[in-house]
Structure 1
Amino acid sequence: MSAHILLVDDDPDLLKLLSMRLTAAGYRVSAVASAEAALARLAIEPPQLVLSDVRLPDRDGLALFGEIHARHPSLPVILLTAHGTIPDAVEATARGVFGYLTKPFDGKLLLDKIAQALALAAPIGNKAGGDNGWRSQIVSRSSRMAEVLAEARLVARTDASVLIRGDSGSGKELLAQAIHRASHRADKPFVAVNCGAIPEALLESELFGHVKGAFTGAVNNHRGLFQAADGGTLFLDEIGDMPLPLQVKLLRVLQERSVRPVGASQAIPIDVRLLSATHRDLESALSEGLFREDLYYRLNVVSLYLPTLAERREDVPLLANHFLAKLSDKYQKPLNGFAPDALEALATAPWPGNVRQLYNVVEQVSALATSSLIPLSLVQRALRAAAVEVLSYNEAKQRFEFDYLVRLLKLTDGNVADAARLAERNRTEFYRLLQKHELNPAQFRSHPPVAE
């Protein structure tokens, strides 16, 4: 697939000449005559590169670059400048413009500059098969998602640690898999683990492995997930739920590039690219002492934010029909689409559970459908059921923990020692659970202490 270039110039003759030259070179060109038109085109379909004149009628190319850079920081911009505006162009280069060419410019030089910018920004094609093979599981036409994917493609070429932020159900693991497929580690393992779904006592062994006899029940040597991912990528989902003691050990692994299984005397070298994700506010966790600052900066070399489904609402019909096609095969039903009013109901729903919730709704209507076209009534029924509660496993676990701790504190009148004893946990671990859920035992006492 050819790269898409957005060309911006108010000179109709030059615009036509450049469009013909770039099209002849194999590029797909969108040509506009103003900065406003360029921004509108960017919102509809972000290109791989912007080529703009510095002097434009509604605002100059430098101001246009500033707006492009704010919205699409990884999108390369090349400026075309007359001799009188060279100082401005040089300043823009220092601010992040990829480069500039002085009019009149050599055609070969222009093509070389464009090829250089595209090669550094987002190369066309990869081992995963075609331009979009690496992100084939991510269905989207949203400009916000396009920018996230452009940055993901860019960072995939490095071994930098990436922290993926986003609400539950927004597709963080899918993005992590896409980064892996676009990287030079694509033919090596991709291993994912949810740090909040594994009990603290088992998480260390799962991550780092253990040797036979390390603890009761360790009847064999066990390779941890770091070793399983050697040469490839390890994805730590819900990293914000990792207990502090394990955060210390994870930091040591990242610093030393080696892992020591539980009960072992020797460390084992590893070569792993680390991706992590969270829906929590890690900055708040830092200030509360629940997450280590040194580990945070190790993990957050590059931060990517996945928009909620409500923030990429134009993707709802696309995703709904995509899921329907998959579920049509699963349930062996000839499901051909949604009635117009049913699709409108999906597009305007609030979607607190994001893409995961949308999939569940489409699965429900697929299972109950008696005709090839999904009616509004089925969609409304599924949306009402989904509105009652949409919880991931980890969210359900967190809610159970909170309710359980509240019941224990009420039962023991806020006595932590008694509550820990009933929970069969030591006081240190019990206090850590209370901190995690921001529960103050004093609030549960019949006669709370009076401040003097």
Structure 2
Amino acid sequence: MVNGRILVIDDEPRMCQFLKMVLSQDGHAVTTASDGVKGLELLKSGIFDVIITDLMMPKVGGMEILEAAKEEDPDSCVIVITGYSTVESAIEAMKKGAFDYIPKPFKIDEIKIVVRKALAQRGLMVENRTLRRQLNVTTLRFGYMIGESKAMQAVYALVDKVAAVDSTVLIRGESGTGKDLVARAIHQHSRRAGRPFVTVNCAALPETLLESELFGHAKGAFTGATMMKKGLFEEADGGTFFLDEIGDIGPGLQAKLLRVIETGEFIRVGETKPRQVDVRIIAATNRNLEEAIAAGTFRSDLYYRLNVVSIVLPPLREREGDVPLLANHFLNRYVHKTGKKIRGFTEEAMAKLSKYSWPGNVRELENVVERAVILADSELVDLRDLPREIAEEPIIVPDAISGVPFKKAVQEFERALILKALREAGGVQARAAASLGLGRTTFHEIMKRLGISANPKGARDDVQNCDAVGQ
């Protein structure tokens, strides 16, 4: 089985033969070139995952090979071999995009490890590029609604169905799930697509100002109304009106909004003559409207008029497999904005992003990726570029200590922490103490106080019997 396609370029035939023999043993397909000129020809005629090139060669040197390789395939990984006298040039090559450099003489294991790492990065870059192509297909169909999970497929199916009719739609979901994107997608796929798409956040304005924004006002209707103003309903005439955070409007406006939905009529503030509009209404909320109805703060008749078709957006934590797609989408956006040369995420960084619970949903993920792009100083976003709460493993408090007195809870938590450290250290107490930043004497005193066996075997037994406590 071929693991990777490797091109070796060196003007020393023995080095070419040696590297081909060593790397072929690991299952790689190795092609060699005896100078930089032949190396350039091979780069143009074939596809290689990793290019290993000597830095100092006559006619065409390693720097030119690096530039040509990146031009042919931006995802290719170039490893530079250099003598000690040219280490500074090798570092310069790293700044220009080389994956790594290896000074001569080197050990067999050293070149094998670097090649293995280069192939892993190459795989990540290709995977990221594939994800971006998948994103392009999705965005062509649904604007910026990103996701391939079953939960999102169900949303897409509903968007297709409701776009074809003029019924009122209520979009529900937690903050940051992208309710505005769903509303826009419905509009773009409807017969009203060429007409206005108007939005308003009902929670952003006090009720008196919101009424004027929605319905407009006559000149002199109130202090400061020096001229007539059209409302957003008139601006949306013939198109779609998206009312975000509909659960935040007061009772007075609820009655007037109900009239527009039922009759298409409204009255500007300061006027008495009804006006007619033709708008499709899409509303969204993160509130529980059923509870608001029970509490008497939201009209049931308005709720039923809005809730003709309900689309419930899943939180990001329930969208299995969508985090990599979204993360790469936001990465592309902010790489383009900042002009930075970042190609993707390391495997460890993406694993942490996928594992995180995302209480702020897609909006939080976007903010995290923007931050990572700003902080990243290499071609791949790494763990150090992520916020601490995502990059570090959280310490989970055992269920067994909930509802117990404070001192007892602290003791049980302390015990769980010590056992977890011992488990991860394989029962070796010195290593466990070091992982917690404790001296061995202090660690032993804590173990004794908590009744944890002091001998290594006992410590291992305790750890094995208490795995559930530490997890």
TM range (shorter): 0.5 to 0.7
After superposition, the CA RMSD in angstroms is: 1.9
> Aligned equivalents of 2:262 and 2:366: distance in 1?
40
Partner residue of 1:237?
244
Q: Give every structure 1 segment of 4 or more consecutive aligned residues whose post-TM-superposition deviation is greater than 3 Å.
A: 129-134, 380-385
The alignment's TM-score, normalised by the length of structure 2, stands at 0.53
User: What is the aligned-residue identity percentage?
Assistant: 52
Q: CA 1:157–1:216 in structure 2 vs 1: closer, same or farther (change >3 Å)?
A: same
Task: Please point out which of 309, 314, 333 is paired with 2:340.
Answer: 333
> Aligned equivalents of 2:144 and 2:327: distance in 1?
14
Partner residue of 1:68?
none
The alignment's TM-score, normalised by the length of structure 1, stands at 0.55
Q: Do the aligned residues in 2 keep the contact of 1:364 with 1:382 (CA within 8 Å)?
A: no
Report whether the alignment pairs 1:179 with 2:186.
Answer: yes
Q: Which amino acid aligns with 1:238?
A: E
Q: Which amino acid aligns with 1:379?
A: L
Task: Please point out which of 359, 366, 375 is paired with 2:373.
Answer: 366
Aligned length: 258
> Secondary structure, in 3 states, of the residue corresponding to 2:161?
helix
Q: Larger radius of gyration, structure 1 or 2?
A: 2
Give the 5 Å matches for 1:115-264.
133-264=140-271
Aligned-pair CA distance for 1:335: 1.0
Aligned-pair CA distance for 1:371: 1.3
> Aligned equivalents of 1:290 and 1:205: distance in 2?
21
Give the 5 Å matches for 1:347-386.
347-381=354-388, 383=390
User: Deviations along 1:280-310, whole A, 9 cap, x unmatched?
Assistant: 0000000010000110011000001000000
Q: Do the aligned residues in 2 keep the contact of 1:365 with 1:379 (CA within 8 Å)?
A: yes
Q: Which amino acid aligns with 1:366?
A: V
Q: CA 1:130–1:356 in structure 2 vs 1: closer, same or farther (change >3 Å)?
A: closer
Q: CA 1:244–1:203 in structure 2 vs 1: closer, same or farther (change >3 Å)?
A: same
> Secondary structure, in 3 states, of the residue corresponding to 1:235?
strand
> Aligned equivalents of 1:143 and 1:348: distance in 2?
18
Q: CA 1:254–1:335 in structure 2 vs 1: closer, same or farther (change >3 Å)?
A: same
Partner residue of 2:133?
none
Q: Which amino acid aligns with 1:354?
A: N
Aligned-pair CA distance for 1:368: 1.2
Q: Which amino acid aligns with 1:151?
A: L
Aligned-pair CA distance for 1:319: 0.5
Q: Which amino acid aligns with 2:384?
A: S
Q: Which amino acid aligns with 2:335?
A: S
Aligned-pair CA distance for 1:256: 1.9
> Aligned equivalents of 1:134 and 1:371: distance in 2?
33
Partner residue of 1:293?
300
Partner residue of 1:280?
287
* Unaligned residue ranges in structure 1 (runs of 5+): 1-128, 388-452
Q: Which amino acid aligns with 1:360?
A: N
> Aligned equivalents of 1:186 and 1:153: distance in 2?
13
Q: CA 1:131–1:140 in structure 2 vs 1: closer, same or farther (change >3 Å)?
A: closer
User: Deviations along 1:136-167, whole A, 9 cap, x unmatched?
Assistant: 21111111101111111101100000000000
> Aligned equivalents of 1:267 and 1:330: distance in 2?
47
Q: Do the aligned residues in 2 keep the contact of 1:134 with 1:182 (CA within 8 Å)?
A: no
> Secondary structure, in 3 states, of the residue corresponding to 1:197?
coil
> Secondary structure, in 3 states, of the residue corresponding to 2:242?
strand
> Secondary structure, in 3 states, of the residue corresponding to 2:282?
strand
